[in-house]
Structure 1
Amino acid sequence: MFLFQPNSRIKPSPFLEAAILDGLKMANVYNRMIMPTSYGDPEGEYWRLINGVSQWDVGVERQVQLKGKDAAKLAQILVTRDLSRCEVGQGKYVAICDHRGTIFNDPILLKLADDLFWLSIADSDVELWARAIAAERGLDVEICEPDVSPMAIQGPKAEDVVAHVVGNWVRELKYFWFRECEIEGIPVAIQRSGWSKQGGFEIYLKDAQFGTRLWNIFKEAGKPWDIGPGAPATPERVESGLVSVGGDTDDETNPFEIRMEKYIDLHVPDDTIGIQALRQIKVEGFRRHQLGIILEGDTPAPLGVHREDIVASGKKIGMLTNCVWSYRLKANIGFALVDRAVPVGAQVEVLRQAGRSNGRLVEMPFL
């Protein structure tokens, strides 16, 4: 049984009641909200995502809305990717950095109108950051957290399920593009996106009172494809090389170090926060890079509360930022943030809580 007592600090998503009724067993806190992480069968939930279709409560992916005459200007100041050609109905994966070029959020930006943007954020307070920057620069823009909550439908059969609900037009959506519509009178935006590499969509509910109803619409529609509940806390994201900013990064990590160089446009305006630092880092070179690691052993040994040091020849060269058991590789795998001089293929040791463990550094994605 999953028990949760709402309070003003930790809030439920509109889908939490439905998730509990579907057997939710474990959850975490993300963006000051409850994020489902397991329904009691982690391996079954994993294979459902890999082979079928999985339904996720990801209402914790809060939106920061920028609206007004200077909304587009503020959006470009906040993100280090060129938005000059971004069209209405288009989304982009972006980095938000501080003035040092340190990344602290990697949202999906959605352009709903020339004067209206959403930032679908990871786990940090972008709304306060945006408010401070807008006030500091005297911009004419309203900033708020709108009544918008995503639900994800992920897996190789996700497209069939979503098309069954809203029509075959969703099959034509390009990655990160979206379209606003209604589902049985419920206002939503549907985007081809999601925190997996198995394909799928995020359904942005625009009225929280319909959370359980919307969940059940997709649950019923997905029965022919054996839909079931799941969460983005599976080995799939590690196998696929998907970064968790805040988990796989520290207070000095820049986007170049975590394989995000293609999402950084160094030609954006000089007033884009962090861009001048990133230009300098590009010239001077970054000191670390992110690689995969495969550990020896045939027993699942996930990462504990703390990151673990990685050493080579008796010298610390970096840290293990996550570790999970891969059901397909039959090994413990994770992300290593290590000195840039350390090459792919290097044999290393990880100072694990249970003792030293040997490992090998590899390119990502693992699969």
Structure 2
Amino acid sequence: MQRELPAVPVLRSLRTGTSLYFPASSRHQPRAYTVFHRRLLPALYTDPLDEYRALTEGVVLWDIGTEIPLEVSGPAALTFLDYAVTRDLTRCPVGECRYVFVTDQHGGIVNDPVVVRLEEQRFWLMPSDSDLLLWLRALAAAWQADVTIRPVDTAPLQIRGPRARAVIRALTGDTVADLPYYRFAWTRIGSFEVLVTRTGFSGELGYELMPLDGSRTGPDFWETVLAAGRPFGIRVAAPSQIRRIEAGIFSYWVDMTLETTPLELTGYEWMVNFRKPRFVGRDSLERIRHEGPRCKVVGITIDGDPPPEFWGGLLAEPLPVSLPGASEPVGRVTSACLSPALGRIVGFARLPATFATPGSEIVVQTSTGLRSGRVVPTPFVDPEKRRVKS
């Protein structure tokens, strides 16, 4: 069943750009857009459940053409980036990728990019939805680092789902199709030079494809990929918030912000490497580790049928969370959906650490009344990540 979406006009201007693939993806008539990096990103084409099934049972093509990579290069690139992130990048060989946190002096999350190590002193960063370019340039200036930081003229298309490898094999052959998880390769697809990575945020087998000179080649590259996928039943779809939530993947500006530290994200605390002698925010995070974080972002389940605001996994506003027998909110639900795999409502909530242990009972205020819920471990589906690593 399709939900009627409110018609809200958007004035396109220099403030609101479009995806590199917009001329091609817009022909498939998205029902809704969201804004990512000040650009319009398709958020829905048909129905969230229909697109979820296409992702989990077949293969989909996602327009992620608003995620412009940043290149960091120069004699001090490795030393500089290792100082900027909480993980140890010296242990990331050329040819591999790492998911990292960039934190400020207070330990707050500035961004959570994927780092691609192209050469010894050349990296691409695939940023989430905050201005990582400004932050890194300011940090480089303050540090007087001998680095160059620039946007790259490309952005990802994502091919995801159980049949994704068959599509990539048709496009590139076996070598690229058999890339291990969090590895990458350069390849040629027709006349396009393309970086292919085994990364993404769906919890399903998938690849990200980034053609060089993307502002010129993007629409034609889209059509090339779509044509190769047709024999395998490829569907144009939007990133699945439902599958993201099932996979236990947090989203910037939704489940975490600059006010969130990595130590508050349940399941991701290990990504702060305190064996490193220096990184931005280390002292603050060391203090938080010693004292214990005040809040945690945790997995939750909510009883009953899903209220309208849970449709598709995107909440317009966070939902207040209280404790049984109390009326004052102590936290908030940041993401929630009806999981098709589990048949129940799952999501994430930010709660005081005291009430964030598995089994803790909560009460969620929804548009249809109060709902009981509880804190549970994540990921909700495929916790061993067999699908995405297959």
In the superposition, the TM-score normalised over structure 1's length comes to 0.94
Q: Deviations over 1:50-87 (max 9, x none)?
A: 11111000012221211211211221121111011222
- 1:191 & 1:2 partners in 2: Cα distance? 35
- The equivalent residue for 2:232 is 225
- 1:282 & 1:328 partners in 2: Cα distance? 35
- The equivalent residue for 1:235 is 242
Query: Does structure 2 retain, via aligned residues, the 8 Å contact 1:96–1:106?
Result: yes
Q: Deviations over 1:263-307 (max 9, x none)?
A: 22112232x111222222222222222222222222443354221
- 1:114 & 1:5 partners in 2: Cα distance? 43
Query: Does structure 2 retain, via aligned residues, the 8 Å contact 1:301–1:324?
Result: no
Match of 2:168, SS?
A: helix
- The equivalent residue for 1:82 is 88
Match of 2:320, SS?
A: strand
2:259 pairs with 238, 242, 252, which one?
Answer: 252
1:44 pairs with 28, 50, 54, which one?
Answer: 50
2:174 pairs with 151, 164, 168, which one?
Answer: 168
1:68–1:31 Cα change, 3 Å: same
1:98 deviation in Å? 0.8
Corresponding letter in the other structure for 2:133: E
1:175-190 to structure 2, matched below 5 A, reads 175-190=181-196
- The equivalent residue for 1:124 is 130
- 1:168 & 1:188 partners in 2: Cα distance? 16
- 1:219 & 1:29 partners in 2: Cα distance? 24
1:262 pairs with 266, 270, 288, which one?
Answer: 270
- The equivalent residue for 1:283 is 290
1:1-367 to structure 2, matched below 5 A, reads 6-208=12-214, 209-258=216-265, 259-270=267-278, 272-303=279-310, 304-312=315-323, 313-314=325-326, 315-342=328-355, 343-367=357-381
1:29–1:286 Cα change, 3 Å: same
Q: Among the aligned pairs, what percent are the same residue?
A: 32
Give the CA RMSD over aligned residues.
1.9
Match of 1:149, SS?
A: coil
- The equivalent residue for 2:3 is none
- 1:252 & 1:194 partners in 2: Cα distance? 24
- 1:162 & 1:4 partners in 2: Cα distance? 35
Query: Does structure 1 retain, via aligned residues, the 8 Å contact 2:301–2:344?
Result: yes
1:41 deviation in Å? 2.5
1:245 deviation in Å? 2.0
Query: Does structure 2 retain, via aligned residues, the 8 Å contact 1:50–1:156?
Result: yes
Query: Does structure 1 retain, via aligned residues, the 8 Å contact 2:360–2:374?
Result: yes
Unaligned runs of 5+ in 1: none
Structure 1, 293-302 or 77-86: larger mean CA deviation: 293-302
- 1:294 & 1:195 partners in 2: Cα distance? 21
1:43 deviation in Å? 1.6
Query: Does structure 2 retain, via aligned residues, the 8 Å contact 1:104–1:245?
Result: no
Corresponding letter in the other structure for 2:269: E
Q: Deviations over 1:208-249 (max 9, x none)?
A: 211122111221111222100112143111111111022102
- 2:339 & 2:308 partners in 1: Cα distance? 11
Query: Does structure 2 retain, via aligned residues, the 8 Å contact 1:2–1:26?
Result: no
Corresponding letter in the other structure for 1:358: S
Q: Deviations over 1:319-358 (max 9, x none)?
A: 1111222223333321012122222122211122443222
1:122 deviation in Å? 0.2
Corresponding letter in the other structure for 1:24: P
- 1:76 & 1:306 partners in 2: Cα distance? 35
Corresponding letter in the other structure for 2:340: Y
Structure 1, 121-130 or 199-208: larger mean CA deviation: 199-208
- 1:269 & 1:86 partners in 2: Cα distance? 17
Query: Does structure 2 retain, via aligned residues, the 8 Å contact 1:292–1:334?
Result: yes
Unaligned runs of 5+ in 2: 1-6, 382-390
Q: How many residues align?
A: 366
Structure 1, 97-106 or 320-329: larger mean CA deviation: 320-329
Query: Does structure 1 retain, via aligned residues, the 8 Å contact 2:72–2:123?
Result: yes
In the superposition, the TM-score normalised over structure 2's length comes to 0.89
Query: Does structure 1 retain, via aligned residues, the 8 Å contact 2:103–2:111?
Result: yes
1:107 deviation in Å? 0.4
1:252 deviation in Å? 2.7
Structure 1, 20-29 or 117-126: larger mean CA deviation: 20-29
- 2:241 & 2:134 partners in 1: Cα distance? 30
